[in-house]
């Protein structure tokens, strides 16, 4: 795994997440380790169904009942994966916040916007009065470019982009160390998308927050992130600085993702054949082997581990010594 310059505010170690289903246990995340430093943005990319959102939710501690976690999620020296429910609830908002991709389904349509903030702030800081909480809400909204006078409006009175800004403001109102943004620009037009990304960049710089940006949009990662982690079938298969991974991707899956991008010089559409495996019964060895153009006999025997393939860049592939 690549090193980061500043001490990490998030250290994920050997994290595995499973879901109990009638068909058996789905291993959505398998033995993932990841660091995020203060003021650093890390993009988490991959196809749908590869475990990106599950990893983000496991870090925040908001998995459904049928989900279970093994491994460590260290934030501020505390292992939230093993913390009591009350301690995890306290950490959410103060240490780590989650920005969902569908703000309209996360905001209560019967509550005014400021009431969402008052409820959140006083749940963590009961000594704060309602008037103080409303002032904190207006300050957070102002920082997102929303007029404080609109704090008394209901969610349906805002556009999609403004609702997403409200969700970000709600996430950062208590100044957490880490923000996990799960597809924060889904369903937004490119102009509003750019505004949201600019806000996330400003938060990173101004508040020195760590950012884990979960997305399938590699263009957003190139614009916003310092490092990128590529996830496939529950595992991180490559991680490194954005400039290095985009210029010289090492894992065949990363290479396939980047070849699939459309740009001004594109003359034909390209894609990766096949699809991700069933995580109820993943293939032995490298999980990308059934789709890989470089597959070798050893690929289907043992699982490759992340190995250094360049300065600050690692990949889990038998094309490289040490995997």
The per-residue pLDDT for range 119-162, each reduced to its tens digit, is: 999 999 999 999 999 999 999 999 888 999 999 999 999 988 88
pLDDT tens string 19-30 = 999 999 999 999
Ramachandran assignment for 31, one of left (phi > 0), alpha (psi -120 to 50 degrees), beta (any other): left
More confident residue, 145 or 5: 145
For residue 111, pLDDT beyond 60: yes
More confident residue, 235 or 103: 235
Mean pLDDT, to the nearest integer, of 96-112? 84
Q: Which two tokens stand for residue 260?
A: 């699939």
For residue 1, pLDDT beyond 60: no
What is the C-alpha R_g of the chain?
Answer: 20
For residue 17, pLDDT beyond 90: yes
Q: Are 228 and 40 in contact (CB under 8 A)?
A: no
Percent of the chain surpassing pLDDT 70: 97
For residue 60, pLDDT beyond 50: yes
Q: Which CATH superfamily is domain 8-95+176-315 in?
A: P-loop containing nucleotide triphosphate hydrolases (3.40.50.300)
Identify the CA nearest to 232 among candidates 69, 31, 51. Answer: 51
Dihedral, 174, 180, 182, 184 alpha carbons, nearest 10: 50
pTM confidence score: 0.91
Beta-strand relationship, 8-21 and 67-75 = antiparallel
Q: Are 6 and 38 in contact (CB under 8 A)?
A: yes
Q: What is the pLDDT of residue 58?
A: 95
pLDDT tens string 36-52 = 999 999 999 999 999 99
Percent of the chain surpassing pLDDT 90: 67
The band of 4, judged by pLDDT with boundaries at 50, 70 and 90, is very low
Q: What is the pLDDT of residue 291?
A: 95
For residue 172, pLDDT beyond 60: yes
C-alpha to C-alpha distances, 99 to 48, 176, 303, 311, nearest whole angstrom:
18, 12, 33, 32
Instruction: Among 19-28, 86-95, 200-209, name the most confident range.
Output: 19-28
Sequence spans of domains, the chain: 8-95+176-315
Identify the CA nearest to 312 among candidates 238, 240, 225. Answer: 240
d(CA 46, CA 56): 13
CB atoms within 10 A of CB 5: 10
Angle between helix 160-172 and 190-207 (nearest 10): 10
Q: What is the pLDDT of residue 200?
A: 86
């Amino acid at each position: 795994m690549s090193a980061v310059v500043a001490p990490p505010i998030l250290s994920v170690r050997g994290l595995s997440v499973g879901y109990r289903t009638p068909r058996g246990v789905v291993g959505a995340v398998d033995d993932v380790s990841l660091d995020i430093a203060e003021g650093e943005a890390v993009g988490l990319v991959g196809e749908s169904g590869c475990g990106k959102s599950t990893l983000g939710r496991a870090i925040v501690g908001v998995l459904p009942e049928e989900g279970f976690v093994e491994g460590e999620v260290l934030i501020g020296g505390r292992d939230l994966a093993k913390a009591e429910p009350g301690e995890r609830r306290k950490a959410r908002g103060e240490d780590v916040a989650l920005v969902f991709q569908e703000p309209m389904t996360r905001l209560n349509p019967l509550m005014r916007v400021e009431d969402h903030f008052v409820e959140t702030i006083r749940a963590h800081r009961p000594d704060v009065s309602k008037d103080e909480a409303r002032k904190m809400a207006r300050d957070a909204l102002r920082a997102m470019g929303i007029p404080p006078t609109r704090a008394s409006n209901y969610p349906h009175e805002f556009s999609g982009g403004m609702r997403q800004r409200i969700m970000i403001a709600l996430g950062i109102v208590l100044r957490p160390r880490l923000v996990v943004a799960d597809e924060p620009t889904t369903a937004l037009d490119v102009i509003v998308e750019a505004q949201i990304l600019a806000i996330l960049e400003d938060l990173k710089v101004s508040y020195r927050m760590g950012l884990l940006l979960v997305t399938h949009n590699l263009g957003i990662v190139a614009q916003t992130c310092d490092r990128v982690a590529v996830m496939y079938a529950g595992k991180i298969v490559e991680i490194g600085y954005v400039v290095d991974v985009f210029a010289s991707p090492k894992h065949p899956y990363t290479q396939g993702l980047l070849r699939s991008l459309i740009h001004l010089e594109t003359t034909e559409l390209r894609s990766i054949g096949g699809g991700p495996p069933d995580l109820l019964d993943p293939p032995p060895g490298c999980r990308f082997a059934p789709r890989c153009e470089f597959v070798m006999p050893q690929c289907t025997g043992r699982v490759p581990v992340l190995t250094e393939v360049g300065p600050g860049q690692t990949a889990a592939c038998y094309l490289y010594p040490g995997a």
